[in-house]
A and B are shown apart, each in its own frame.
Chain A
Amino acid sequence: MKILTFFSLFSTFLSANSINVEENAGQFFSSGHTNNWAVLVCTSRFWFNYRHVANTLSVYRSVKRLGIPDSHIVLMLADDMACNHRNPKPATVFSHKNMELNVYGDDVEVDYRGYEVTVENFLRVLTGRLPPSTPRSKRLLSDDRSNILIYLTGHGGNGFLKFQDSEEISNVELADAFEQMWQKRRYNELLFIIDTCQGASMYERFYSPNLMALASSQVGEDSLSHQPDLAIGVHLMDRYTFYLLEFLEDIHPASKANMKDLFKVCPKSQCVSTPGHRTDLFLRDPGSALITDFFGSVRKVEITMETINLTDLIKEAEQNPMNEKPQKVTYSYVDQLPVSEIIHQKPKQKDWHPPDGFILGLWTLILLVFFKTYGIKHLKHIF
């Protein structure tokens, strides 16, 4: 009898373990990203908010330099500083005083401009719920293996970001939008950078996995602007983005700098405000995440010197006789949102739990011992 119970216990244990091995193998092969996207948003209009447009364009320049193409960047600028009537140097937006660096140039592709930059459009871009007529350049066509960089700048407060002087997006809305993105499998990992006053309040409410966030100032602090240019008559950049840019200038596509270096950008002595970051939702160690994972589009490329022959000829399709009726083949779209798969998919477990089979076996053992000791006639007291 005892051997029987022991044997049944052992078998259940083995079966549970075998399920475990398959899972482990699956986890071993799924990681990393295959493409990069960037969503760069400037939310302020008016001439005296020149610096917000300069911020966004500077990040745009860096991201392009590190490899993300225009087709993978959604650039939203709420006002046109380059062609503003008050710009003494038309068709330029400078980010350094004495007009050292023109970040506008002649190959800027702005996807959302002027009054198109609204909270609704921003959320639609993130969640993908755009009308069918929206062109590709205005869509965030990311998938579950995309790493996305989201950069927001403008005027903000505790828990909100102001769009265009007429509406606001709250941190709850933003967190919900990211959760929608997670559930629709629209990102692999997401880096969120915000340069506004009290920026840390915007990432307080995030709850979706694989998010890392950086902000230029804590709640209750103002983010300050960097330098005015007297010839143009406005402030050109904000401090946090200025030092972020200096940091990014040293990054090239092959650099191994990681996120921990990014957290050190702009300490309080330079920024006056205290930058903050949030990594608890990020599943990897931030030290293992490279800067180029988000800011660049780095492909793992292996160069080989061997030649590969494509020896099989391509067969032509057989000609159908004219008198045969053309066959009707019904096509169907692949399910874009495979709900059944998602519902039944097990979430990734962070902590180790003992496998289910083991616990089942344990309770069976306890019950058997119990009934062995006290006899089977007590069974009716339980059921």
Chain B
Amino acid sequence: MAEIRAEEPASTISKTFLIKPKLKSKPRSLPQTPESKYWSSFKSTKIPNLVSSISSLSFSPSPPHLFAAAYSASVSLFSPLSLSDGDVSPSSTISSFSDVVSSISFRNDGLLLAASDLSGLVQVFDVKTRTPLRRLRSHTRPVRFVKYPVLDKLHLLSGGDDAVVKFWDVAGESVVLDLIGHKDYVRCSDCSPVSPDLFVTGSYDHTVKVWDVRVENSRSVLEVNHGKPVEDVIYLPSGGLIATAGGNSVKIWDLIGGGRMVYSMESHNKTVTSICVGRVRKENDGAESMEDRILSVGLDGYMKVFDFGNMKVTHSMRFPAPLMSVSFSPDCRTRVIGTSNGIIFAGRRKGKENVESGRVGNVLGFESISESERRVLKPTYFRYFHRGQSEKPTEGDYLVMRNKKIKLAEHDKLLKKFRHKDALVSVLSRKNRENVVAVMEELVARKKLLKCVSNLDSDELGLLLTFLSKNATMPRYSSLLMGLTKKVIEMRVEDIRNSDALKGHIRNLKRSIEEELRIQHSLQEIQALGTSRASSVNLFSGLGNLHLPSLQTSLTSAALLTSASLILMFGNKSRMAFVNFF
């Protein structure tokens, strides 16, 4: 490749500075960790209007990882692919239930779906046709969970309010084992990821029992006491640890070590309703690896991500409703959370859409047709004129950097041409208040702001007054804007009096200032309660007694503004004091 010759750099002295808003103070907290960045990268989609509480969520183990949501007396299947397109309608719905669906579980090939309802019935559906294939009836009371073992296609596990855990043979619709031992409602279970015979169940009697179907007397092989009614239990991927959720805590137990509690995570404020295993991508020295986390949701509306390797909460996210269920897709791209008021918050990460399907294709022997040989470029092609433009420089090339062009906003250009009023109007119509304040400050520095105000025509004055009525009371800008508001009203009294539209703006302005005054007064009262600064209390109470006359003609509000700006001055202080005090 030919060497690129350096153009002789001729420096110039000319500098252009843009009008920039004042910097904001940075939060004192640490910057986002890579992990919380990962969890925030799930682009949240809201699936609203499901009738009632989402009792259970489950992902299909096979791609494309459909997920099923149980709510009321129906189960809906959603496709995560359509979610990323913004389509929130379910791809299909099963509604052949007589009572509220309590739990659902996919078989490990994703072809069958088991669902239990509160009538005591467990049904097995074909996911594609949505026809009920088997109906398992034996429970006398509502069934609370149903679970397909991870490594077993033939059996099912269910349990409910009759305190009995049943192990089913699905094909014959018969109960293989009745596991009796819990003394209260059985609420949850999970099957071991490493053995087809082991599973755990959790019950409202505070205990979590480990069962082995190979044990003859149908007794639990191990029992741990969570200390609170157990809401959810999961096996961690190694198979040696389980996590239980009950009360406000999530506890981790070591089964191989004989049921020893490893850690108790107590960062929820209300009952933890559901937990699941999530995975996070970690980059260590360039190598990418996945690490497991526990996702827990609770009635306090928080989702917490717990790193059970380091025993600490690495991320926490708030949702606007009590959360009932959570699930995380096996391809680590979708995370769904169900709330008690029928909303599913589905989060989906961006990624290569067809990573797994491509892999499947290769396994099956289908080779994607390789790209046809690139055609030789001819001057008749459009691409001919773009050739070489995306060429990357090689190691030894000398790069001639072109100076970065400074992007000028419209108000910058106008200010450069000394068209001050036009610049102000242009930035006012852009609705970015920081920029507006920055332009105003620049105009002050040029001693042109009041000139601009006096030159505004009535529409533009309306624009300015709208801006002022919205922002004049903001503590950040009030020192500049209150003064300006006063000046504007003083200078443009005649115009305002002659125009109804402007009078309306003034009315709005008055309202917002009165609102702010009210806030300040209440804050002063609180401060008076909280602190014993006699002098300031006297001052504030004096201001508080100030009777603000209801202004008939809105034009006399300049006087009001004077007192308002005075109060604001103290008020900002008191607001800060208020924050400090609590």
A, B co-complexed: no
Interface residues of B (CB under 8 A from A): none
